[in-house]
Structures are given as C-alpha cells and as structure tokens.
Amino acid sequence: MTSSSNWSVSTDDAVSVLGFTAKLPCDITPPEKDDRPTLVLWFKEGDHVRPIYSYDRRGANEFRPKHWADESFLGQRAEFMAKETPTHLRLDRIRESDRGTYRCRVDFKKSPTRNSKVNLAVIIPPQRLSVLDEKGDHIQNYILGPYNEGASVNITCIASGGRPQPRVIWWQENNLLDDSWEVLSENRVKNVLWLEKLQRRHLKQVYTCQASNNEIVAPISSAVSLDLNLRPLWVKLLGENRPLSAGQAHEIKCEAVGARPQPQMSWWKGSTPLKKAKEEMSSDFNRTVSTLRFVPTMEDSGKILSCRASTPTIQDSMMEDGWKLNISHIPVVALAMGGSLNASGIKEGVDVYFECNIKSNPWVYRVTWRHNGEMLYNNRSVGMILSNQSLVLQSVSRASSGIYTCIASNQEGDGESNPLYLDVKFIPVCRPGQQKVIGVARGEIVRILCEVEANPPNIDFSWKFNSSRETIDIEPNHYTVEKTRSLFGFTPMTELDYGTLYCWGKNVLGKQKEPCIYTVIPAGKPDAVRNCSITNLTVDSLQIECMEGFDGGLSQEFFLELYDADSRLFISNTTSTVPWFFISDLSSGQNYEIIIYATNSKGVSDPTILQFTTLKASMRGLTSRDNPPLMLQLTPLISTLVGIVAALTLVALIIILIMRIRESSDDEKSHSKMSSEAVKESSESAESIEKNPDIIPQNNEYSDGEEKTFESFNTRLYPQHLGAEKSSIPKEELTYAELSHASSVYTNMLSQQPQHCIDPLQYSHLDSSLCHVTAETPLICTSARESTMVPIREGQPLQQCHWTPQQKQQQQQQQQHHVVTATRF
Amino acid sequence: MDYYWRCWVFWHLCAIWNYGVNSLKLTTLHIEKHTVRGNNSLLECRFDLEGEALYSVKWYKDGHEFFRYIPKDYPSTQTFLLPGVKVDRRHSNESQVLLTDLTLASTGRYRCEVSAEAPSFQTVSEHGDMVTVALPNEGPVITGGRPRYQVGDKVKVNCTSGLSKPPAHLTWFINGEQVNSSFLRGPFKSYPEEEGLERAILGLEFQVEPKHFKSGDLKLKCLATIATIYWNSNEESVEGEKPQRAPVLEVKDTGHNSRADRVQGQSLH
C-alpha cells in the first residue's frame, strides 16, 4: 500500500544541482515551549512505506539522537541538521533521481505531529559547449580566424545537455551581445553570433559563449579570440628627403604600421624593383621597418624611390610612400672646342673658344680652367677671358698650346673634364737657350746644331754663313735635318772661316722670321773663376762657391786642389761641372790652401788660390749656418803672384799680336778662293780675335812658350806633384796633343769621363770612299746644367768629311756628299 | 544471521523482498461518508504489522492530528482539540476512534497513519472523507399553483426545501414522471442563514396539455433529498376545467425514510 499524496500541508521548494548539496528544510521547533520533538521522519513520495531517514530522540535518545538513513536511497549522502537554523536534511552529491517531493513528519512529545513537504528540483547543468566557425568547423586553440579586415563572420555556439534547457548567451567582456538562443533539440541549444564588417578594433577581442540553467553553479563558457588580417595603416619613408650623394651607400628606412601579419615590403625605383632589404619587426608586431641600402647613381635623379607594403591575404591592401630622388654628384664635365673650331687646326693669332659642358647637382659654385695643369686666370690684357663656362683665348700663341681642362666644383667635389689638346700651329722660331757662341780652333771640326720650335714640326732648314768678308748660302747637302733640328758641321781653316751662321726653318705656315744666329769664334782656354766665397766653414769641412768665368767658347770643367798651407803638401783634388765644391775630412785648426781653375779642351784657366784655416775644435760652438760666408782675401803673396802673372800675360799678348799680324798674310794666301768681300773685312776679324785674351794660338811655338811659362810657374810651386802626374798621362788620347803639355798639370781630371754622357752614338756608314766613320764615341756630353759641344777625341777621318769654307767649291765639283749625319740626337 | 548475510549479498533483492513481503499493511479504513449533526461516528483503522512492532497510530483531520496512539507512551492515547472533533477516548484505541456530537465542522478528510518501530519506521496511511449533515427542518413546499387549469394554461410553480446543510437536492415529477430539465428553473439557493444553512429552490414551468389529464387530475410532486440520508416529498393535484369542480388539494406524505416532515396542503385562494 502506498501512502496518499493528498496531504494538505505546507510545501517548500528546494533546488539543487547535480552533484551538489541540497537542503530540505523542516521546522522541528515545537509549537509550545515545554514541548520537544521526539522523532523526525523523512519520506519521499511515490516511494515505499519506509521512510528514507529518521531522527530519533525518543526516550533514552533524547540527548543522543539516532540518525538512520535508508541505505538503498541515501546511503551516506544525507544528514539531518537538527542544530542548524533552519533545521534541514542535507543531501549531498545530488543525483538526478533525487528529484521529487519529500515529506517531513515531526512528532512532538505533546504537540500535534507536524507534516511538511519540500519539492526538490535537481538541475543538470549543460555539459558541453561547442564553438563553430561559419563553416561549421570546431575552432582550434580558441582562436577564430584570421579573417580579413571588413569580412563578416558568424560564430555558432551549441550547448549540449542540461536540464532545464540552458540559456546560451554571447558576451564580449561585460557586454551582452546576443541572448537570442534557439532550441535545436531536447539536448541542444544554440546561439549564433553575427559580427559584421570586422574592423581593426575587433582584433584579439574575446567572445565568450556562456550556457547556464541555474544560479548555483558557475555557467560553463567557452571563449574565442578573434584574429584578423589587417591592411597597413600607413607606409612611411623615415627621415627627410634630402639630396643623396651619387655613388655613396645610403641607408633608407621605411616603416609599415598596423599590418597583420607581417606585411610584404618592397622597394622600387620607378617601376624597377630593388633588391630585398633588411626587415625588422617591432616587439609588438605592429611596426615593420625595412632598411634599404641604396647606392644612387646620377641618373636616379628625378626618379621616384618608393617603399610599398601590403598584407598578402588582403587584396588591394598595398600602400606606398615615395620620394622624388634628388641625387647630388660630382660635376660631370665635358670640354669641347667652341663653335666650328678644329682643335688641330689652330694657327697663332686665332681666337679660340672652349666650352665647358657641366652636368651637376647641386649646381657648381666654381669653374676653373687649367692649361697643362696650371690654373688660368682672367687676364684681358693677354686675351684670356674666363666666363662662367667658357674660356676665350684671344690671338693664341704657341705658348697657348697644350692640354686644357676645366674643373667644376660643387659640394660633392671637383669634376675635371676630359683633356683637350690645343695644337697651335706656328712658324718656326729659334729655340731659346741654345749655345750661341761656339769656340773652335782652326782645323778643328765644329758642329752647329740649329734647333727651332715649330708646329707642325716638319721643317725645311736653310743656312747662311756670314763672315767678315762675305755671306754664303750653305748648300743643303752640307747639313742634316731631323725634324726641328739641323746640324751643320765645318772646320774653320783660316780666320775668314770664323763668322756668323744663320739658320732658318720653314714649315707649311711659313719661314722663320728671325733666324737662329750662331757665332763661331776661335776657341780658347776658359777664364778663371771669380768672386769665390767660403761658406759653412767648420772644424773639418767647408763649402766654396765661385762664379764661373767665360768658358772660352767650349764647355768647361772646374778643378780644385787642396794643399796643406804649412807643409805645401798636396792633399786631394776634386772636379765639378760647376764651380761649387764641398770639402770634408779636414783637420781642425789647420791652415789650408786651395787652388781652383777651369779647364776646357783648349786649356786651363788661371788658378784662383784661397787660404783658410779650419775652426779649432774648441770653437766648434761658434760655427753655425748663420755665420756669414767667410770671404777670404788674397794674401799678399797671392797678390804678388797675380801681379807677376798679369805682367807676363801682357808680355805674351804683345808677342802674340806681333805674331798674328805676321801670320795674317799667310792666311790670305790660303783663303784666296774666297770672295773678295771677305778680304776687306779681314782686318776687323783679326782684330776681334786679338781682342779676345782667351784665344789660344794654334801655333806650336806660342804654345810651347806658354806652356813653359805655366810649367815654370807651377813647378816652382808644386814640383813634386806635377812631376808625378805628368808621366801618367797618355798623350795619344788627346786630339789636341799640343795642349796636353800645357794642361799636363790637370790631365788627371781631363782623363775622367764627363758626367752625364749621352749614350754613345753610332755614326752611320756613309757610302763614301772619303768617309768611313765607324766610331762609337761619346759625341755629346751634357753637364747637369746645359748641353755643350765637347771635342771629339778620336775619329780623325771625320775631319775630311766636314765641310770647310776652303773645301766648299772643291766638294761641289766632286758631286759627293761628305756629310756626317748624326742619326740620333 | 543467515537472513542478514543473504541480504548483505543480495542487497537490492532483499530490499524488494523486504518491502514486498515483510511490510506493514493497512487492512481496513472505515469512515462514514455522511453523518448527521449531533450523532456519533466511529472511525475504524485496522492494520497488519507483519511482525513489526507498532510505534504509533495517528489520526488526522484535514492534516491536523487529533488522536494518537503510542503504545510506549503513557497514557498511550492522546487527543488534540479540533473544531467538530470530539473524541470519546474510552471507546478509542489502536484501531478505532469514536467521534461524538458531530457538528457541521466535523466534515473533512480523516487520515489514519500507522508507523512501525525503529529503525525503519515503516509507515502506512489512508484517508477517507466525511460530511456531517444538518437535515432540513421541514419538507419541501410547493408554491404558485392554481386550483384549476385548462389545457393550454401555463403552469408556473416553485419548490422550496427546508433549511439544511448542505442544501437539499430537489426533483420535480408530473404525474409521477421526472420532469425534463427543460421545464426546470433553477435550482436556486436561498441566502445562507445561521450556521450556513440554506434552502434550495427549483422552479417548474410548462403548458398544460390534454395528456396531463388523461388519467384524471394533474399531479405535481417535488422531492427533496440529501445524499442517502434524507428523502421527503410534497404533491399537488389539479382538476381539469371541464368538470367545473372546486379544486381539491390533496397532499400525500411520500417520504419513507425521513423523519416525518409534515404534509402540507395549500389553497391558492
């Protein structure tokens, strides 16, 4: 038999959640104070006659109530909480089967029994949430997307299980977004969240789906975070668009902000893509900076350098920023002749105009002009006019020839143009700096080199000889021509053969206006050096500087001999092409004597004697460079000697004069074939020769006498030394054997090779019976200062080959070329 | 020992067996459905303990306990005051309760609840409803009738019962046949008087037809009943027009099980 459900008693409601605890209230307070509950019974309606729980305080149990629970229904899950207020039956780990109506019967000792009912509702929470994307796929890792900016998305949330059916709601943070759920089936409730036109602000927003059917336990929820692909907010080239130097590496940075994921960045020059640049992403992944290493060229000026960034997944998301390039560079300069001028066809006197074409950024602040490396300046007086980019040379001269460049300068540097060679054509002119006076002894061959300057240098030469008696055109077969040089050689045999030679060059532009003039004079020994001064005198060295005297028409050398002034002993000697000497390794505080003389192939000059005393060692401190050069006075002894020599010379000159006058009659006979004009002038010519104190007569008689004079003079001074030197000189080496005696004192010096000799020249073989010249000899030697003709030591046959005024007609008759041609100069 | 061992093994089986076999049963519950005010009534509740010890027998009226029998208590019976419930403890025990001096408040649901002893306190209960009736102080009265009716006349009469609780149930008969409800008006109730006593009123309207006089006079009867404990009626006879006789009002007392309400004859003059 089952108990009836029709108990008309008060009814409470209780709610619990599956697995949680339920409290079933039951008031056991007695209605009267002196009463007490004795027994509490709990029944579950619809079940059996047995109660499910009893709380027994009857009799002996009054202070130790007995709890009893039905094992099969409640087990250990229930306890009657008699001491709590309100008193209730606590039911743990609620099961679904616990749902139902419970009746509590309270028996009191005195009062009527109290029955009350509790309806227990058991809530089953929703079990599971599924969040699905618009394709119905489960969302992995709780990240939804990525979606492109602007896309619309629906997110479906489905709650499974739960009784009563749960409410399914979408939240974003604390904002309720969507509470419109719909029931799919008994077990499934869904809510679809629609997000329209996703924007940047939606990025990483968290959307939470929540399902709940009670207020007791926390709702179950599932959150997804929205991931978006975003187009860049902006692309910007960093820094200012400054001018860039061509050829230099520049780092240009470009930032792309706001793109997601990392944007694709590229660099363009105009429409040309540039090489991949280095990219760096900021720590917040919001900003990407691309660094381009850019080496601009001049041609890049005006082009647009742009940086682009795009989000690959979003179409038309490309943004760009560009700079119009301003490339600064060293001026590029091209030099050209102005107008229709032909650089190779300019004649002297013509106006020339150069144009300097400049390409430059920034524009040049200066244009300079150079001629053979030398800076040019505006000078209207010489017809040089420099304007901005042009150079006008008015009435160019041959000095204007050479390489012209223009140099344009800007902040980037200097740009030099191509060299332009200005070739000014001009009529030959005599080359300056030639030896104009040439000394030669009678019977000696002399070679006169006429050098001219001309452009073009293809020159026809013509020579004239003007003696005191006549003027003769020299036949071309007597001289050689090699471009701008012509060599004429002859052997003066008489006084009439001395005179002036004129040489003209002629090129396509015309004939030389002023001839080159060479005076051939009888050669003599050189003059003594003058104005000697001692500088830098120290304890053991000194320096001597003298001025050279007339060289006698030939190249001269300078000799120095050092003697101990006290013992008169020879110490050392030295030679030089200039009268400058440095003597070292001297003893301190000692008296020395120095003899300096010049020598050429005609003889030796008068000696110049100097005496000096080296500084004492203790005086060393006094010597310094600042000391003025110590001018040595000729000692009284020297003065006396000079006086004697002067007197002797005067005597000798008188003798020579007498001799010359007597000899001139012989000369006249030998030169009888020459023109009568020359004869008239013979007295003048002779006179001029006699005036020259350096002329050394070729007559052996005079030379013997002179030699003896020198010898006696020298021997008296340095008998031992001269004797020793004399024997060591081989006379055969000298062409001028007669001089070898006179110069025997200095032959050791003559025998030495002149410095800076030109390589031996090969004389060409001439197919002539008369001229068999096969000598390899130094023809021309140069000193450091200038080129001079020196005597030929060997090759006597040459004398026959050379023209002499006496031979002239004779050779013409022979119809032969007796010319020595120097193949190389 | 053997029993507990087996039950420990077959836990569920034993539980079912326990309930099914070894359980308290309530065998008889007797509650009078209608009782008359002022009378006594004996409530009976018999049960089979099936070997269990008795803990309590409780009687509730409308959920409120008014009598308990707990053998271990002293005294073993206890009564609680409820309106209309007056227990004669001398004639009340574990299986019956004697209610005396029933009043209208005695009406209600009476429940007997029997509980066995600890620990399981098996409990059974059953209930029955009792209505205590206040009988009408008089029989039904017919009013509004005329002495004579001709065919075609309209008869319009009322029947009013005496004051009672609950009000009596009225029924009309014409010539002994129960009247079709389409001729009835009501029933109506009079305004309740003291103790909630009421009169019932039922009207009857119909047109006289020749068939009504087929067997002589037209007889109109009103019957008042309350459940099975009250039965009382009143009848009027009406002459037809033709015999031209003074109407004779004849009243018969038809109640057979009633307490002799007076038969009323009423002249409509």
Confidence of residue B88 (pLDDT cuts 50, 70, 90): very high
> How far apart, in whole angstroms, are the C-alpha atoms of residue A275 and residue A294?
9
- CB contact at 8 A, A627 and A655: no
pLDDT at A429 exceeding the cut of 50: yes
User: Residue A634's pLDDT is what?
Assistant: 46
Instruction: Return the residue matching tokens 């001439």.
Output: A766
In SS3 terms, B105-118 reads as HHCEEEEEEEEECC
- List CB contacts (< 8 A) between B78 and chain A: 110
Tell me what pLDDT residue B31 has.
Answer: 94
Does A8 lie at the interface with B, CB-CB under 8 angstroms? Answer: yes
- Interface check for A112 against chain B (CB to CB < 8 A): the answer is yes
Strand segments (E) across chain B = 25-30, 34-36, 41-48, 54-61, 64-69, 77-79, 87-88, 96-99, 108-116, 123-133, 141-143, 154-160, 169-174, 177-178, 184-189, 200-207, 218-226, 230-238
Interface check A50 vs B, CB under 8 A: yes
Nearest CA in chain B to A70: B120
The pLDDT > 90 percentage for chain B reads 41
Top residue of B120, B124, B129 to mutate, by most chain A CBs within 10 Å, is B120
Q: How many CB atoms lie within 10 A of CB B204?
A: 23
Show the tokens assigned to A244. Answer: 């860039």
Q: What is the pLDDT of residues A665-707, one digit of tens each?
A: 444 444 433 333 333 333 333 333 333 444 444 444 443 434 3
Nearest to A447 by CA among A455, A459, A439, A458: A439
Which residues are CB-contacts of A267 (< 8 A; sequence separation ≥ 6)? Answer: A254, A273, A274, A275, A277, A290, A292, A294, A305, A306, A307, A308
More confident residue, A745 or A406: A406
pLDDT at site A7: 63
The tens digit of pLDDT for each residue in A517-560 reads 998 888 878 888 888 888 888 888 888 889 888 887 778 889 99
For residue B138, pLDDT beyond 90? no
State pLDDT tens for residues B157-166: 999 988 898 8
The answer, yes or no, to whether residue B7 has pLDDT greater than 90, is no
Chain mean pLDDT for chain B: 80
**Percentage of residues in chain A with pLDDT exceeding 70?**
75
Contact yes or no for A596/A608 (Cβ under 8 A): yes
The answer, yes or no, to whether residue B266 has pLDDT greater than 60, is no
Q: What is the band of A778 on the pLDDT scale with cuts at 50, 70, 90?
A: very low
Separation CA A99–CA A119 (nearest Å):
8
Judge: B118–A66 Cβ closer than 8 Å, yes or no. yes
Q: Convert the pLDDT of each residue in A707-726 to its tens digit.
A: 333 333 333 333 333 333 33
pLDDT at A343: 66
The DSSP H or E segment spanning A480 is strand A479-482
**Given CB atoms, is B79 within the 8 Å cutoff of chain A?**
no
Q: How far apart are CA A528 and CA A598, in angstroms?
A: 6
* Residue B93 amino acid letter: N
Identify which of B25, B60, B115 has the shortest CB distance to residue A1. Answer: B25
Amino acid at A781: C
Indicate yes or no: pTM above 0.90: no
Domains and CATH numbers, chain B: 24-133 (2.60.40.10), 141-239 (2.60.40.10)
Residues of A in contact with B19 (CB under 8 A): 48-50
Q: Residues of A numbered 382-411 whose beta carbons fall under 8 angstroms of chain B's beta carbons: which are they?
A: none
Q: Say if B103 is an interface residue toward chain A (CB within 8 Å).
A: no
Task: Give the closest of B118, B124, B127 to A54, CB-based.
Answer: B118
Which residues in chain A have their CB less than 8 angstroms from residue B66's CB? Answer: 112
pLDDT band at A493 (very low <50, low <70, confident <90, very high): confident
Q: Is B15 an 8 Å CB contact of chain A?
A: yes
Mean pLDDT over A247-270 rounds to: 92
Mean pLDDT of B107-117: 93
pLDDT bucket at A761, cuts 50 / 70 / 90? very low
State how far the Cα of B50 lies from the Cα of B47, in Å rounded to an integer: 9
Report the alpha-carbon distance of residue A30 to residue A38 in Å, rounded: 10
Q: Give B176-190 pLDDT, tens digit per residue.
A: 889 888 888 888 888
Facing residue for B12 by CB, picked from A50, A66, A72:
A72
* Structure confidence by residue, pLDDT tens digits, A332-386: 999 998 877 776 678 888 889 999 999 998 999 999 999 999 999 998 898 899 9
Contacts of A63 (CB under 8 A, 6+ apart): A57
Contacts of B99 (CB under 8 A, 6+ apart): B40, B41, B42, B43, B85, B86, B87, B88, B106
* Rounded distance between C-alpha atoms, residue A356 and residue A334, angstroms: 6
SS3 content of chain B, % helix, strand, coil (to 5): 15, 45, 45
Enumerate residues 6+ apart whose C-beta is below 8 A from A151.
Answer: A197, A198
Q: Which of A175, A129, A96, A764 is nearest to A480 (CA)?
A: A764
Banded pLDDT at A231 (limits 50, 70, 90): very high
In angstroms, the CA B60 to CA B42 distance is 14
| Close Cβ partners of A724 (under 8 Å, ≥ 6 residues apart) | none
Partner B contacted by A60 (CB < 8 A):
no
Give how far B4 is from chain A: nearest CA, Å. Answer: 14
CB-based contact A526:A750 (threshold 8 Å): no
A41 touches chain B (CB under 8 A): yes
pLDDT at B35 exceeding the cut of 60? yes
Residue A418 has pLDDT above 70, yes or no: yes
Task: Enter the tokens of residue B207.
Answer: 């047109």
Mean pLDDT of B66-85: 92
- A32 pLDDT more than 70: yes
- Picking from B51, B57, B170, the residue whose alpha carbon sits closest to that of residue B112 is B57
A48's CB contacts (< 8 A; 6+ apart) are: A2, B19, B23
- The pLDDT of residue A229 is 92
In whole angstroms, give the CA distance from residue B201 to residue B198: 10
Rounded to an integer, what distance in angstroms lies between the CA atom of residue A519 and that of residue A500? 4
Predicted confidence at residue A573, as pLDDT, reads 87
- Domains of chain A (ranges plus CATH)? 11-123 (2.60.40.10), 128-229 (2.60.40.10), 234-325 (2.60.40.10), 329-422 (2.60.40.10), 426-522 (2.60.40.10), 530-614 (2.60.40.10)
Q: What does the alpha-carbon distance between residue A647 and residue A656 come to, in Å, rounded to a whole number? A: 14
- The Cα A133–Cα A178 span in angstroms is 16
Asked if A115 reaches chain B (Cβ–Cβ under 8 Å), the answer is yes
- Give the DSSP per-residue string, A711-742: HHHHHHH-HHHHHHHHTT--GGG-S-HHHHHH
Average pLDDT score, chain A? 77
Can you say whether residue A162 is alpha, beta or left, with left for phi > 0 and alpha for psi between -120 and 50 degrees? left
Residues of A in contact with B12 (CB under 8 A): 72
User: pLDDT, tens digit, for every residue of A430-473?
Assistant: 988 887 888 888 888 888 899 998 888 888 999 999 887 888 89
B123, B124, B126, B127: best to mutate for the A interface, most A CBs within 10 A:
B123
